[in-house]
């Protein structure tokens, strides 16, 4: 039995080797193999394989052009594409501009989406990193909170074997404590959080200095970011162990730097510069030992391979087990999904920023589709020009697949040309786009990005070419040469349908832009129940109440300052404490009203221009104002109190007398209704409010800055106008408003380009008809009407389709606001008329030109 | 026309083809070369040299008869052409010529 040489190697050899060499080569190989096989079978095999590989060289490789025609065909296709582009320049440019704008938008949007999806994904343990969330059943709704009971981390750490690390963080979510930081003579503001010792094992913030396991072992240790270290010490070397002075209410003192972490990247949703020891915070808040007291956020990493669902079930009832009175349940949320899926409705995840990601993806797809449709329409409409070429090719023997490939190639070439232009556009627009979206997007040529771009371009090319390729290749040569009409009814309908689709998409976008910008106007001009103009808000670092009072008095002396007050929390974000701890006469057992707790200073209602409905505001003329309470309208209604003034309620067990009722005002975003709130007095809130006389802003602020600096040991005044803060709340909405405006404009532009090309072409092929009509006595206007009639019909149909869809979409969007504009019929009619006008304008030039023609010119035939 | 060049390895193969007149084929050349040079040679290298020399016109080839050996593949025998012989002669004379020009050098 002869040894058999490795079959695969020989098969490979036979595949590539020249036919006239193969017999000799294979024979020699086998002979050598058989000879070597006697010495070592294994070696012989590997030697043969190696030798085969060595034959893989130009001398031995056969010519693979099975049919030498195919390369020539491709060359020919290229040449034809090139000639066609040059011959029909207007079509070429319409297609190029359309496709490249579409692609540029798609590229920008995909850059943006990639960036959005990357937020918070950089943590090494991202797959196992969760936040413990807290659902509270309020009877009529379930509210989802980020803050969790204080004893929770200890329970998770000790009782749950699945938990790898768990950390408590305070204050919750994106909030930070702002305080003043001092070292030598440098004083600055910085934002801080209290984190428990496992924090840096859970989140991947590289530790640049200090012992990673010992960072927050000491109560007065602080870990700072490298940027802060650079600002304070000028370097990150030898900083560990240095002392810092930190001033924030209740926690002022000296802290030593135990480590430096690398500043959080811009795609981290939570940013802070200082990490203090959570144990220190806990030691000053004994309430944190109670299960009924919710304060910190809890983050954890699960051990690899843990069953998340099972773990969730395990912790769900943890609060009730420890505090039978509680109505809360716990669940997990993946940490990195908090950015895109931040909203909760009735205890269930309800989207969030993801809706904008989806919205813009859809817009990108539609823009590309519109551009593709231009290509389809123009190439099928111009079929008559290429019909002879196709006929000749077919009669010589071109297969349908060859023609399909030819036309697909043409469109793919087109789309790659467009890609080139689109890249250019994106590079130019990117800085502007970054300003608009508030991001730092960059063109990074990662393999992922290149694949996406090439993929998008290829798909666009194939899509754009698909219909023309199938349509043109399907025409029979007989009908071509016989001269029968090649524009069959069905193709005409498809073309019309595509134009209708284009216009419908543009119309939906127009309706969207109309509504979004109206709603934005509404938001910006809505009467919030207080006067947000000319009010400054800032916090201070004065360490005792007496000097705060003198600070206030000093501020009051500044000319231009109208009044001063303070508030816990701020005026715009609705971020404040809530409590159900109010008892009043006649309260039924299950009437759990969740009140907002606002702590305000004297003059608050005057400063903010909030209207009092009944009673009076807090006043310095009365004593024991701290035992008084003011409610808003909603609160009184929900409590069901009649003649509330003078009645007493019990807040956390203490009696308070109602002295006033104020008209509802918005301290929360307009997505929400006004919450029942009460106001209690404290002469010092977290944030100071100053109303400034209009027209004197500049000098007043300068004076305020001086006083502030003096009273805050050289710290610069970091203030915000409330109306600016308010506008910031709706930054993403106003971004959508601006961006959708641009995209709608581009959609219309591309659609109109297509329509323009189509109109020019129809006018051209109907030239003889127009000539005859004119000879027979038709007037210019009649001809213009005749030609634009067709387009008017298409746009009207598009209207019929698009307006209901648009209505549905914007209605849905407005529905998410508790306060929104009413949809008016005329804004839809307006959008319709606008689209009609635009289409007439586009078609108009062509039709008028066609109508003005002298019949002699188009009827004479040489 | 410039005369085609003859590389070192090609020259060795050509000498072998000439030496085994009419009986030279890939494996026989391989075996004798390995014996002469006392080193391993890959058969693909010999094939490459042979093909190149066929192209240059130094050798011609013919197929042998079918045998049961070699998986039924015919051998391809190579024969040196007059042109090939001339190239060898030329190479040889250049070498000897040069060799004789070496002066008597003593290496001690």
pLDDT tens, residue by residue, A777-829: 888 888 888 888 888 888 889 888 888 888 888 888 888 777 777 777 777 88
pLDDT tens digits along A652-664: 777 777 888 888 8
> Which residues from chain A sit within 8 angstroms of residue B43, using beta carbons?
28-29, 32, 51
| Percentage of chain A exceeding pLDDT 70 | 94
pLDDT tier at B97, thresholds 50, 70, 90: very high
* Prediction ipTM score: 0.86
From A410, A417, A385, select the one nearest A469 (Cα to Cα). A410
In Å, what is the CA distance from A32 to each residue of A10, A43, A615, B30, B31? Answer: 14, 12, 111, 9, 9
Closest CA of chain A from B47, distance in Å: 8
Contact at CB, A27 and B42, closer than 8 angstroms: no
- Closest in B25, B30, B73 to A30, CB measured: B73
Q: What is the pLDDT of residue B96?
A: 92
- Closest in B25, B43, B69 to A29, CB measured: B43
Closest CA of chain B from A6, distance in Å: 13
Separation of alpha carbons A438 and A736, rounded Å:
12
Nearest CA in chain B to A51: B44
User: Mutating which of A7, A12, A27 best tests the B interface, going by the most B Cβ atoms within 10 A?
Assistant: A27
What are B84's two structure tokens? 């090939």
Q: What is the pLDDT of residue A113?
A: 86
| A28 CB within 8 Å of a chain B CB | yes
Window from A58-62, A775-779, B22-26 with minimum mean pLDDT = A58-62
Separation of alpha carbons A152 and A290, rounded Å:
10
Separation of alpha carbons A415 and A671, rounded Å:
43
Separation of alpha carbons A328 and A345, rounded Å:
15
> Which residues from chain B sit within 8 angstroms of residue A1, using beta carbons?
none
Nearest CA in chain B to A10: B71
State whether the Cα torsion A607-A608-A610-A614 is positive or negative.
Answer: negative
- Strand-pairing partners, residue A260, are A209, A224
Nearest CA in chain A to B42: A51
* Residues found in chain A: 862
Q: What is the pLDDT of residue A66?
A: 55
Q: What is the pLDDT of residue B93?
A: 92
Long-range contacts (CB closer than 8 Å, 24 or more residues apart) made by A711-715: A711/A540, A711/A542, A711/A547, A711/A551, A711/A554, A712/A180, A712/A540, A712/A541, A712/A542, A713/A180, A713/A182, A713/A187, A713/A541, A714/A187, A715/A180, A715/A187, A715/A188, A715/A189, A715/A541
Separation of alpha carbons A807 and A813, rounded Å:
10
From A218, A216, A263, select the one nearest A236 (Cα to Cα). A263
Residue B16 scores a pLDDT above 70: yes
The residue to which tokens 């408590």 are assigned: A168
Residue A163 scores a pLDDT above 60: yes
Contact at CB, B71 and A25, closer than 8 angstroms: no
pTM above the 0.95 mark?
no
| Sheet strands (E) in A618-745 | 628-632, 648-651, 654-662, 677-681, 687-692, 720-721
Window from A83-97, A99-113, A122-136, A138-152 with minimum mean pLDDT = A138-152
- The whole-number average pLDDT for the span A399-405 is 85
pLDDT tens digits along A515-556: 888 888 887 777 777 777 778 787 776 667 777 777 777 777
What are A178's two structure tokens? 């702002």
| A26 CB within 8 Å of a chain B CB | yes
What are the DSSP calls for A406-466, one per residue? HHHHHHHHHHHHHHHHHHHHHHHHHHHHHHHHT--------HHHHHHHHHHHHHHHHHHHH
Separation of alpha carbons A753 and A333, rounded Å:
48
- Which is it for strands A207-209 and A253-261: parallel, antiparallel or unpaired? antiparallel
User: Mutating which of A3, A28, A50 best tests the B interface, going by the most B Cβ atoms within 10 A?
Assistant: A28
Contact at CB, B74 and A55, closer than 8 angstroms: no
pLDDT tens digits along A255-264: 888 888 888 8
From A497, A496, A472, A499, select the one nearest A486 (Cα to Cα). A472
| B30 CB within 8 Å of a chain A CB | yes
Q: What is the pLDDT of residue A594?
A: 76
What's the distance, CA A8 to chain centroid? 53
Ranked by mean pLDDT, the top range of A186-190, A402-406, B32-36 is: B32-36
Window from A70-74, A91-95, A491-495 with minimum mean pLDDT = A70-74
Q: What is the pLDDT of residue A575?
A: 63
The DSSP letter of residue B70 is: G
Asked whether the beta carbons of B13 and B29 are under 8 A apart, the reply is: yes
The mean pLDDT of chain A is 80
| B75 CB within 8 Å of a chain A CB | yes
- Which is it for strands A186-195 and A177-183: parallel, antiparallel or unpaired? antiparallel
């Amino acid at each position: 039995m002869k040894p058999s040489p490795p079959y695969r190697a020989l098969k490979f050899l036979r595949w590539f080797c020249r036919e006239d060499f193969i017999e000799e080569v294979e024979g020699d190989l086998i002979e050598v193999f058989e000879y070597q096989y006697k010495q070592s079978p294994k070696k012989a095999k590997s030697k043969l394989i190696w030798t085969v590989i060595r034959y893989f060289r130009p001398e031995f490789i056969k010519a693979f052009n099975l049919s030498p025609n195919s390369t020539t065909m491709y060359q020919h296709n290229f040449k034809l594409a090139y000639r066609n582009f040059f011959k029909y320049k207007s079509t070429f440019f319409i297609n190029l501009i359309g496709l490249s704008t579409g692609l540029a938008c798609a590229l920008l949007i995909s850059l943006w989406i990639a960036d959005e999806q990357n937020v918070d994904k950089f943590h090494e343990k991202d797959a196992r990193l969760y936040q413990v969330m807290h659902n509270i059943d309020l009877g009529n709704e379930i509210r989802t909170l980020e803050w969790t009971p204080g004893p929770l981390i200890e329970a998770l750490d000790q009782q749950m074997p699945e938990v790898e690390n768990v950390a408590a963080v305070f204050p919750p979510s994106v909030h930070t404590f702002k305080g003043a930081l001092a070292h030598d003579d440098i004083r600055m503001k910085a934002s801080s959080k209290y984190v428990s010792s496992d924090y840096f094992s859970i989140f991947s913030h590289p530790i640049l200095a200090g012992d990673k396991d010992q960072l927050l072992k000491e109560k007065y240790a602080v870990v700072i970011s490298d940027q802060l270290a650079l600002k304070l010490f000028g370097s990150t070397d030898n900083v560990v162990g240095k002392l810092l002075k930190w001033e924030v209410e209740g926690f002022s003192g000296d802290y030593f730097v135990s480590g430096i972490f690398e500043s959080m990247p811009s795609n981290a949703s939570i940013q802070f510069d200082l990490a203090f020891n959570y144990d220190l915070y806990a030691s000053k808040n004994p309430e944190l030992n109670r299960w009924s007291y919710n304060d910190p956020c809890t983050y954890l990493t699960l051990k690899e391979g843990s069953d998340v669902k099972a773990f969730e079930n395990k912790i769900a009832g943890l609060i009730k087990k420890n505090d039978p009175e509680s109505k809360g349940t716990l669940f997990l949320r993946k940490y990195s999904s908090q950015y895109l899926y931040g909203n909760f409705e009735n205890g269930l995840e309800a989207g969030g920023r993801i809706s904008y990601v989806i919205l813009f993806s859809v817009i990108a797809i539609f823009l590309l589709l519109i551009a593709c449709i231009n290509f389809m329409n123009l190439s099928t409409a111009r079929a008559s020009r290429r019909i002879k070429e196709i006929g000749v090719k077919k009669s010589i023997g071109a297969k349908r697949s060859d023609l399909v490939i030819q036309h697909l190639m043409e469109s793919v070439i087109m789309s790659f040309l467009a890609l080139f232009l689109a890249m250019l556009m994106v590079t130019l627009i990117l800085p502007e786009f970054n300003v608009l979206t508030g991001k730092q997007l960059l063109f990074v040529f990662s393999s992922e990005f290149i694949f996406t771009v090439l993929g998008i371009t290829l798909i666009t090319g194939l899509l754009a070419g698909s219909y023309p390729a199938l349509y043109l290749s399907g025409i029979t040569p007989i009908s071509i040469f016989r001269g029968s009409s090649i524009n069959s009814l069905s193709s005409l309908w498809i073309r019309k349908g595509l134009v209708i689709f284009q216009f419908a998409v543009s119309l939906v976008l127009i309706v969207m832009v109309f509504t979004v910008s109206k709603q934005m106007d509404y938001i910006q001009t809505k009467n919030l129940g207080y006067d947000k103009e000319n009010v400054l808000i800032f916090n201070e670092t004065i360490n005792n109440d007496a000097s705060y009072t003198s600070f206030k008095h000093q501020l009051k002396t500044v000319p231009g300052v109208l009044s001063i007050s303070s508030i816990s929390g701020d005026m715009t974000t609705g971020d404040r404490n809530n409590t159900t701890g109010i008892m009043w006469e006649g309260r039924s057992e299950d009437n759990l009203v969740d009140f907002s707790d606002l702590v305000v200073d004297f003059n608050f209602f005057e400063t903010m221009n909030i209207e009092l409905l009944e009673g009076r505001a807090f006043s310095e003329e009365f004593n024991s104002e701290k035992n008084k309470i003011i409610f808003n309208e909603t609160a009184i209604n929900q409590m069901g109190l009649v003649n509330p003034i003078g009645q007493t309620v019990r807040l956390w067990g203490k009696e308070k007398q109602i002295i006033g009722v104020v008209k509802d005002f918005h301290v929360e975003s307009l997505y929400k209704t006004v919450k029942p709130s009460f106001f209690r007095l404290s002469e010092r809130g977290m944030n100071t409010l100053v109303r400034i006389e209009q027209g004197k802003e500049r000098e007043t602020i300068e004076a305020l800055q001086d006083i502030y600096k003096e009273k805050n040991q050289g710290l610069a005044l970091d203030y915000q106008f409330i109306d600016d803060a308010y506008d910031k709340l709706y930054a993403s909405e106003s971004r959508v408003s601006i961006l959708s405006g641009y995209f709608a404009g581009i959609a219309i532009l591309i659609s109109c380009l297509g329509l323009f090309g189509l109109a020019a072409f129809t006018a051209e092929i109907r030239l003889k008809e127009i000539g005859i009509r004119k000879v027979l006595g038709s007037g210019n206007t009649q001809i213009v009407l005749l030609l634009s009639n067709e387009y008017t019909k298409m746009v009207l149909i598009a209207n019929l389709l698009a307006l209901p869809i648009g209505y549905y979409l914007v209605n849905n969007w407005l529905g998410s606001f508790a306060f929104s504009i009413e949809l008016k019929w005329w804004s839809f009619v307006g959008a319709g008329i606008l689209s009609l006008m635009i289409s007439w304008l586009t078609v108009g030039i062509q039709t008028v030109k066609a109508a003005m023609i002298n019949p002699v010119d188009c009827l004479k035939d040489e | 026309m410039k005369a085609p060049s003859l590389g070192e390895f090609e020259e060795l193969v050509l000498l072998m083809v000439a030496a085994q007149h009419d009986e030279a084929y890939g494996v026989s050349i391989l075996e004798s070369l390995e014996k002469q040079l006392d080193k391993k040679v890959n058969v693909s290298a010999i094939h490459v040299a042979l093909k190149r020399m066929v192209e240059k016109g130094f050798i011609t080839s013919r197929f042998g008869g079918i045998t049961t050996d070699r998986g039924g593949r015919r051998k391809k025998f190579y024969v040196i052409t007059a042109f090939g012989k001339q190239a060898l002669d030329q190479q040889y004379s250049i070498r000897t010529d040069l060799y004789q020009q070496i002066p008597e050098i003593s290496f001690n």
